[in-house]
Amino acid sequence: MQEGSFTWGRLEKQYRSLNKWIDWTWIIVLLVAAVLLFTINLGGLPLRDWDEGTVAQVAKEILHAPAGSMSWLYPTLGGEPYHNKPPLMHLLIAGAYSLGGVNEWTARLPGSILTALSVPLLYCVGREIFRQRSCAVYSALVYLTMLPVVRHGRLAMLDGAVVCFFILMMLCVLRSRRDLRYCLGVGIAFGLICLTKGMLGLLLAAVVVAFLFWDTPRLLTSGYMWVGMLIGSLPVAFWYLAQWWEYGRTFTNVGMFSQSLNRIWSSVEGHSGPPWYYLLEILKYTWPWLIFLPSSLHLARENRNLSWAKLVLVWMGVYLVTISLMETKLPWYVFPIYPSLALVIGAKLGEIEDLPVLSSYPRFWVVSLTLLALVATAGSIYFSFVPTAKSELQLQLIFAAAAMTMALAAILAERGDRQFLKVLFWGSYVSLFLFMKSNYWVWELAERYPVQPVANMIREGTPSGTKIYTSNPEHRPSLNFYSDRNIVPASFKQLQDYWHNQKQPYLLLDKSAFHALQLDSLKVIDQAEGWKLVTKDING
C-alpha cells in the first residue's frame, strides 16, 4: 500500500470519529435542554379537559383494575369499555402512576419525555438530509423553541408520543436508503403510532409512501420494507382483532367509525372549522420562526430536486391538506406538521452560515422582529400596571424576556450580524422556560371553574363509587379524575326524575339550578366555587 493512501485512510477514520463525537455531543445537549424545558413545573397545574382528564382517568382505571381483568388490553373509562384510542400511552402513564403515584406530574411525564426525545431525533433526521450540520442544529433548535410543540408535548395527551414515533419512522426511512436493516425500524415505528392513535398511522404512512415514491421508489418494492411493515403491523392487528372478538360490532361502530373515520366527513362533538383553520393555528403560535417561513418555502421550491426539499414539501403538503379537508378540527391535530416546518426553516437558517460576515438580511426579518419586540414590550408594560400579584409579575417577566430577545435580535439583524440567530434561540428558550414555570401554560384552565375544590368536596361528601348528576351541561373528565366519581350532566327534568326515583340521590347544582328545581327534603352537604352538593335528608 502506498504511504499516501495509508495516511489518507487514517485521516478519514479520524475525521469520521470526530464527526460522530460532535453529533453525539449535540444529541446529548439537545436532549438535556429538551428534558429540562418539557418537565419543569410539569405537575404545577391541574389536568385540563378533555383529553388530559380522559387519558389520565383511563390510565388510573388500568392501574386500579382487579388482577386478571386484562385492563391493559380492554381499558375502561368510568367502568365502561373505552374504544376511542389504543392503550399504549395509557399503559405508559399507568406505569408512571405505579412508580410515582397518581398525580399530574406522573400523568404528563411519559408524553413529555417522548416529545423531548423527538428533539434529538429531528437533529438525526437533519443529519441524514442536509449536507451541513448547521441546518440540522437549527432545525432541532427551531422545533425545540416552538410554543405549540412545548405546550402540547407537556400535556397528558397522545400527540407528542405520535410525533416522536413519526420522526423515528422518518429517520429509519432515510437510513434504510443505504442500509435495508432500518426497514425493521420503519415497521416498528408505524406499529407504535397505530397503537397510540389508531388510524392516524395510515395517514402518516401515506406521507412516507408519497416521499419514497418521489425520492426513492426502489424502497417501495423492497421485500425488506414490506417485511418490516408486516412485523410492525402484527401487534396492531392483534389489538384490533382482540377488540372485535370481545366487543363485536360495538367496537366497529364506536371505535372505528364513530371515534375515528367519522371525524373525516362530519364534525365530532361540535369541533368544526373552515379549511384554513390550521393555517391560522400556525400563524398564531409559531412566532418568531414564522418570520423565516416564506423564504424557507421558496428555498425548498427552488431545490425540489433534493431529498430534503422533497421530504418537507411532501410532509407539509400531504398532511396539511388532509387534515384541512377533515370536518373535525382540533388544535393539536396540526402537531405532526411542526417538525417539517422546523426542517425547512432550518435549511434556510443554515444558509446564513455561508454568508460573509456583516451581510445584509431581508428587511422583512428586521421589521418583523422589531414589531414583535414592540408587542412584547407593550405586554410587559401593561402587566406592570396591573395590581401586584405573583401571576402578573410572572407575565411581566415573560414579556420582558421576549421583548429583550426580539429587540436585540432586530438590532443585530439590522447590522448584518449573524449572531442575531443565537440571541433568538437563547432568548426564545429562556422565554419559554419562564412561561412553562408560570401558572399560565395551561391557559384553558381559566375558561371554567377550578375543578379541584369541587372534586375534593365530592370525594369527601359522597360514598365511593357513587354516580352524581350535575346541572352543568358540559361533561368534565378532569372532575371525574379528581373526584373518583362518575359525574353525569343532566337536564332539569332528568335531575328531578333522578331525585324522586332514588332513595339517596346526589346532585351537583349551580346557583340557578338549586333555586329552580325546588327539591323536597333537600340537604346541602357542602359547597365550593359556586356549586352545591346536595342529597335527600332521609331523617327530615
pLDDT for the residue 503: 87
Give CA separation, 152 vs 45, 156, 333, 441, in Å: 14, 8, 10, 10
Dihedral sign (CA 67, 72, 77, 81) = negative
Sign of torsion over alpha carbons 422, 426, 431, 436: positive
Please tell me the predicted confidence (pLDDT) of residue 257.
Answer: 73
**Domain edges within the chain:** 7-348, 358-443, 451-536
Looking at beta carbons, which pairs linking 247-254 to residues 24 or more positions away fall under 8 Å?
A: 247/81, 247/83, 250/81, 250/83, 251/81, 251/83, 254/83
What is the reported pLDDT for 169? Answer: 97
CA 142, chain centre distance (Å): 16
Identify whether the C-beta of residue 532 lies closer than 8 Å to the C-beta of residue 522.
no
pTM for the whole thing? Answer: 0.92
**Is domain 451-536 in CATH 1.10.405, yes or no?**
no
Q: Is there a contact between 78 and 124 (Cβ–Cβ < 8 Å)?
A: no
List the chain residues with pLDDT less than 50: 1, 389
**Omega of the bond leading into 239 within 30 degrees of 0 (cis):** no
Return the number of other C-beta atoms located less than 10 Å from residue 35's C-beta. 16
C-beta separation of 323 from 256 below 8 A: no
